A and B are shown apart, each in its own frame.
Chain A
């Protein structure tokens, strides 16, 4: 097989499963049950690590134990616009304090540990986000080689400053950065590199990639209890591929925060095509947006591993979108009212916090569970400078005037900050349609029914009723 392997797109995709099996060292078949069902919890328990083990592993490479900060001025501002007795206390988990500057260090820590333990010489990750720098940093500590594959430039050779900065950061940690033009065949190149090097696939979606985030939810619960004597009423989580929601929610559950609401927030990029060479540079957010958030919620197993450990619909209680302009606005608020220069992309859930906190009681605790580092390129001014150069209109106005790819509307005042609700039932129905396609002919077994109810955090009756619709 080593001699003259088929290097065509289809040829490589056809041996995807074999390449992946070697590159993550997990036999996913053992978790399959019947039909469309697999044993998610068994996969997380058997292939992942316990919370205690994860804490120990993360301690080895200085990950986690980030401060929880109360945002006093933002809370004051919210209360100015809230009804009497309303306006929750807002806290933020300052995840920028991790090595590599984001919560992604938590995800990378276990993958790099696992790669070292299993004797891999290096790790590879496909990402244009903070995860690249996280894998580069964590692999550096473990003296592993590292390749990061980025989607960076369009056919006019134009690149978003935010992704360029992330590439620079990977190089700073000693990684090789393979930079590609726009297109989903990044996955093809990724597979070729795995095959060529025999490195570990530091996927965002293995049990390691998710278990690493559970400590975030767990720590957060401990810190909120210590500071306020109560549990958080709501935790706001920037949602893209689903790992952040899944890992944080699992950590909160393990801490016994059974009444804490899990709220996902994405930047609204509706109308922009993620595989479009034209649209690529007309968005100012490379992650945390609906272009990942919706497809990964409605079919998690589209990821680079056979069974995705990130399954957000199992955990989400509410899901909202915010606009790009609102995220830039709160990034300014965080810097100028709280003295914290962070984000912008990592402030997506902070943008939602404003209006969510407004509806909550005054003594409730709302936690925004991440920040990320800021740098040249990864900052509102270079990102908006680039947007203008791409013909995007940047102006102040009402967030309702937002049209992704055409304008970025910076709110005129803080009381205009709002969230748009995404109907979770619609996402569940969309999931069921894909499940029905996967299942093909025949009725669901009782095990499949239970699996779907857990997958979609709903009742057996709801599944039975809506699956019938989905088959049509």
Chain B
């Protein structure tokens, strides 16, 4: 478990609405779970560990409280895996266009 220090860039988690506080008319799978929120900002406390209740100062200067869930969290995006179903589309269509040019 890492430890965050004051001023570190961290992410917190918070329940915004409990299931019983949510809007009327939601599908059951949505109505049965809370509406939750994640926000990032600079840690206000001197130090904290994952799972602690902390405060952060966000990029706009707002102070928000919540459970610490990430310390300098990584961006979890990449280019995934090449898709077999897409790999030949270029080949197939270029062939059609080349044939058209050759015929002329």
For residue A176, CB closer than 8 A to chain B, the reply is yes
CA distance A278 to B30 in the complex (A): 8
Question: Contacts of A185 on B, CB cut-off 8 Å?
Answer: 16-17, 22-23, 35
Residue-wise interface mask of A (156-174) relative to B, using a CB-CB cutoff of 8 A (1 in contact, 0 not): 0001010011001001001
Are the CB atoms of B59 and A376 closer together than 8 Å? no
User: Is residue A28 contacting chain B, with contact meaning CB distance below 8 A?
Assistant: no
Tell me whether A333 is interfacial, beta carbon within 8 Å.
Answer: yes
Question: Is residue B89 contacting chain A, with contact meaning CB distance below 8 A?
Answer: yes
Decide yes or no whether B39 CB sits under 8 A from chain A. yes
- Complex Cα spacing A8 to B37, Å: 16
Question: Which residues in B have their C-beta under 8 angstroms from that of A328?
Answer: 86
* Binary interface encoding of chain A residues 328-357 relative to chain B, with 1 for a CB under 8 A from any of its CBs, else 0: 110011011100000000000000000000
Does A383 touch B at the CB level, under 8 Å?
yes
The count of chain B contact residues (Cβ–Cβ below 8 Å) is 42
Contacts of A386 in B (CB 8 A): 80
**Is A332 in contact with B89, judged by CB distance below 8 angstroms?**
yes
**A381 partner residues in chain B, CB cutoff 8 A:** 79-83, 86
Q: Are A168 and B77 in contact (CB under 8 A)?
A: yes
Report chain A residues within 8 Å CB of B97. Answer: 73, 76-77, 80, 337
A277, B33: Cβ atoms closer than 8 Å? yes
User: A181–B35 contact, CB under 8 A?
Assistant: yes
Question: Would B89 and A336 count as touching, CB distance under 8 A?
Answer: yes
Q: Are B26 and A380 in contact (CB under 8 A)?
A: no
Q: Kindly supply a per-residue 1/0 record for chain B positions 74-93, scoring 1 wherever the CB is within 8 Å of any chain A CB and 0 otherwise.
A: 01111111110110011011
User: Is the CB–CB distance between A183 and B62 below 8 Å?
Assistant: no
Listed residue (A9, A168, A197, A328) with the most chain B CB atoms within 10 angstroms of its CB: A9
Instruction: Convert B54-76 into 0s and 1s, putting 1 for each residue whose CB lies closer than 8 angstroms to a CB of A.
Output: 00001111100000000000011
Beta-carbon contact of B89 and A196 below 8 Å: no
Selected from A122, A183, A377, the residue in CB contact (under 8 A) with B22 is A183
Q: Select which of B38, B61, B86 is within 8 A of A179 by beta carbon.
A: B38
Interface string of A258-284 (1 = CB under 8 A from B): 000000000000000101111000000
Query: What are 12 pairs between A and B in contact, CB < 8 Å?
Result: A76-B100, A155-B33, A165-B77, A176-B41, A181-B33, A188-B16, A276-B27, A328-B86, A333-B93, A376-B75, A384-B83, A384-B85
Known: A180-B37, A377-B77, A380-B86. 13 other contacts (CB 8 A): A9-B17, A80-B100, A145-B59, A145-B60, A164-B75, A179-B38, A188-B16, A188-B23, A278-B29, A376-B77, A382-B77, A396-B85, A413-B92
